[in-house]
Structure 1
Amino acid sequence: MYLRPGFVVVIVGATLTSLSTVIVALRYYCRHFLTGSVGVSDHLMLAALMFTWANLVINYYQDITSSKFKPSYFRIPEKRPEIAATVRGTLITWWVYRMSYILALCFVKLSLLFFYRVIATHRTFRRLVYATIGFVSIYTFASCIAAAFQCLHPPDAWDTSGFFAQFDRDPNTKKPNLRCYDPVRLWVFCAAANLLSDVIILLLPIPTLLSLRVPMSKRLALIGIFSIGIMAIVASSVRMWVMMLWAESPSASARFGADLLLWGQVETNSGIISASVPFLRLLFRRREKEERGVTQRKIDMSPPKPMGGGGTSQNKPLEIEYEKNGGEGSPSWGPFITVPESLGSASRNSTLVEPTHPHMTV
């Protein structure tokens, strides 16, 4: 059974976006009902999800319009009047998609960066986070403006006469005088900027985590939690490779357009999922507490120990809530991270677990 490439994009996009919706809904449930601390990072992720659904709707119309003609018709002047209306619809959907795709990725990145801003207590780390927020915001704004004004007169971006002219093999054919730039440059710039920002966001918390004097197993666990975003980097890298194939010629653009849209869906949804899954650990925290409660009751049934046993153990795991102190003072790790209790307070007389830098608590 033959499936149109555009239809495959819609099916894959609907599946991934539905999964992202479930993940984000569970994230809101955990943050609102289990911790009562829904923050800016959660709302930014919700905005990213809404733009991802918008991308899916655009992909659907791209599939509907492109299925009504064959790319080979572009080179046949007699066929062009028959397909002019649907080609115009396709060009409009691509014009809108350029901006919605850029905005969806922007909100995913800002959600992660605002989460970093909350847990950033080291001055250098905080400044790097603010600088990255500025970089992502500026290049997103510039890319959206460039996408909207691809032509000096924006409606020329979906002018069919200009589109068909690039397929004419006759050099004497009079082309319309449209003042537009090649959108391939914008796509390549956006792909490079997205990949660069993904790598920066992935590496930002690593030095801080490596500086913590905690057991290697806990250190690797924390790094693993923050490194889930590598899924988005892989998807972004594959999409950039597909884009290079797509940008070779107008014919290649028609051939690899569906692949470009497919990997765009994978890239955006993998970013949403990888950034939200760590928060879902709260769903299993109740079960852990119940199990610890049963164990504690069994211990309480044993003969009481002598007084003066030293109080709370320094190695007792503690769930430290974040966003309740604005990132100031003691470390405010998210509730999905379990760290030694002595890491959460400087007044517990612990010398076993300390940051290596005297002014760095996280």
Structure 2
Amino acid sequence: MFIPPGQVVVIVGITLTSLSTMVVALRYYCRYFRMGVVGATDHLMLVALLLTWGNTAINYYQDIYSRRFRPSQLRFPEKRPKAEAALFGTLLTWYIYRITYVIGLCFVKLSILFFYRAIASHVTFRRAVYATITFVCLYTLAVTLAGIFQCENPSDAWSTEAFFSQFDGPGPGRPGRRPRRCNSPTKLWVFSAAVNLFSDVIILLLPIPTLLGLRVPINKRLALIGIFSVGIMAIVASCVRMWVMALWSESVSNSGRFGADLLLWGQVETNSGIISASVPFLRLLFKGKDRGLSEKERGLTPPRPRNATSNMPLELPSLAIFSGPDVGPNGSPIWKPFITVPASLSSSSRDSATLTTTHQQHPHATV
């Protein structure tokens, strides 16, 4: 049975986000009932989960609106009124999605980085964590502002009048039409995807030097590295999405053809990050309660390095997540014109129609 690509995006999104919800719920259970504390890292992940549900709802409406008209209808002015309402919904949902998707990924990364900050005992590690937090916040702010102000007048981004004006050259009845100044989001999205992948790799590698320097048996060190490396799932998803993004940005027709794939892998990437960052805490489901430990023993307040002038490796505060029979409380452990007609996400051929404009002074992109 054939399932339209748009419906596949919605089904996968609901399934993965539901799984993420269960994992985050278990994370809260472990952190509160097993460790006795819930911190900023957990709340940041909860915000990321809520934004992911929001993106899933947006994906649903993107599919609904895209199925209510065909791009070929936009070729003829007399047919445009029938497609105008659905076109408005398509423009608006894509506009919102571009913004909320980036912000959702930011909260996933911040949750991981705030956890690193809680266990960082080495001054170099802490500085690297703070630098990465600053970088993630700044580039997210920059990309978000660029998305909001894609058009000189932000409301032109979802205006059907503005969208149609790019295809109508000057002529009778249109001498006083207000110019629409909009930029294509293509290069912004490609840049954002590249920086996102780069930051994923940095976040994955940040704790490795510290874990390698722990005063624990090699098998324990490798186990800890393995737990932290679960995040490689998100990097793989980010790599695939980057590849789809490259295909999506190659041409006008590709932007419609690979639109559903872009949304699909966006869901996989975000949910992979949420799940992989929360799985290490679920180890507490198989451990006894740890509420009797102090905050310092749980690793929530990083101790000062005891051997500041020594060449010996610094100790990592023990964590209830990782503590076991062999690890105790004191263990060591400028954009070019780009015009795209929104293609139906549920189109069986997954092809998009491209309109040839006769007037490209004020380009206006839809995706």
Question: TM-score when scaled to structure 2?
Answer: 0.79
- CA distance in structure 1 between the aligned counterparts of 2:147 and 2:205, rounded to whole angstroms: 29
Checking the alignment, whether the CA contact within 8 Å between 1:331 and 1:344 is kept in structure 2 is no
Greater Cα shift, 225-234 or 247-256 = 247-256
Name which structure has the greater RCO, CA cutoff 8 Å, separation 6+: 2
Runs of 4+ in structure 1 off by over 6 angstroms are 170-176
Aligned partner of 1:276 among 269, 275, 278: 278
CA drift of 1:101 comes to 0.5
Q: Which amino acid aligns with 1:85?
A: A
Sort the Cα spacing of 1:84 and 1:327 in 2 relative to 1 into closer, same or farther, 3 A. Answer: farther
Alignment match of 2:185 (pick from 177, 183, 186) = 183
Q: Which amino acid aligns with 1:345?
A: N
Q: Which residue of the other structure, out of 313, 326, 330, is the alignment partner of 1:345?
A: 330
Could you tell me which residue of structure 2 aligns to residue 53 of structure 1?
A: 53
Deviates more, 1:44-53 or 1:203-212: 203-212
Q: 1:1-362 counterparts in 2 under 5 A?
A: 1-164=1-164, 177-286=179-288, 321-323=298-300, 325-326=301-302, 328=304, 331-338=316-323, 345=330
2:169 and 2:164 map into 1 onto residues whose CA distance is 13
Distance, in Å, in 1 between the alignment partners of 2:212 and 2:32 is 31
Q: Deviations over 1:199-220 (max 9, x none)?
A: 0000000111112243221111
Q: C-alpha deviations, 1:96-146, integer Å up to 9, x for none?
A: 111110111000000000000010010000000000000000111111111
Gaps of 5+ in 2: 291-295, 306-314, 334-367
C-alpha distance in 1 between matches for 2:329 and 2:33: 23
CA distance in 1, matches of 2:318, 2:117: 11
Name the stretch that deviates more: 21-30 or 79-88: 79-88
* 1:321 alignment partner AA: R
Distance 1:76 1:204 in 2: 55
Structure number with the higher helix fraction is 1
| 1:244 positional shift | 1.3
Larger radius of gyration: 1
Structure 2 CA distance for aligned equivalents of residues 194 and 60 of structure 1: 24
1:121/1:327 contact within 8 Å kept: yes
Partner of 1:301: none
Structure 1: runs of 5+ lacking an equivalent: 290-318, 347-360
Deviations 1:294-338 (A, max 9, x none): xxxxxxxxxxxxxxxxxxxxxxxxx95221x34546633432213
Instruction: Give the aligned residue type for 2:125.
Output: F
Question: Could you tell me how far apart the structure 1 residues matched to 2:261 and 2:145 are?
Answer: 25
Q: How many Å separate the matches in 1 of 2:76 and 2:226? A: 55
**What residue in structure 1 maps to residue 293 of structure 2?**
none
CA contact (8 A) 1:71 1:254 kept: no
Let me know the Cα RMSD of the aligned residues: 2.6
Do 1:162 and 1:176's aligned partners in 2 also have CA atoms closer than 8 Å?
no
**Aligned match of 1:354:** none
Range moving further from structure 2, 129-138 or 252-261? 252-261
TM-score, normalising length from structure 1?
0.80
Identify if the C-alpha distance between structure 1 residues 176 and 85 changes in structure 2 by more than 3 Å, giving closer, same or farther: farther
Cα distance change, pair 327–191 in 1 and its aligned pair in 2 (3 A): farther
Distance 1:90 1:61 in 2: 8
CA separation in 2, counterparts of 1:260 and 1:90? Answer: 15
How far does residue 225 in structure 1 lie from its aligned partner after superposition?
Answer: 0.7
Aligned-partner Cα distance in 1 for 2:35–2:217: 27
| Structure 1 residue 176: Cα displacement | 7.0
Offset at residue 345 of structure 1 (A): 3.1
Partner of 1:358: none
Q: Distance in 2 between matches of 1:186 and 1:334?
A: 40
Tell me, in whole angstroms, the C-alpha distance in 1 between the residues paired with 2:25 and 2:65.
Answer: 32
Question: Which letter maps to 2:285?
Answer: L
Distance in structure 2 (CA, Å) of the matches to 1:13 and 1:254 = 20
State how many pairs are aligned. Answer: 315
**Aligned-residue offset at 1:161:** 4.3
Q: Is the 8 A contact 2:34 2:288 kept in 1?
A: no
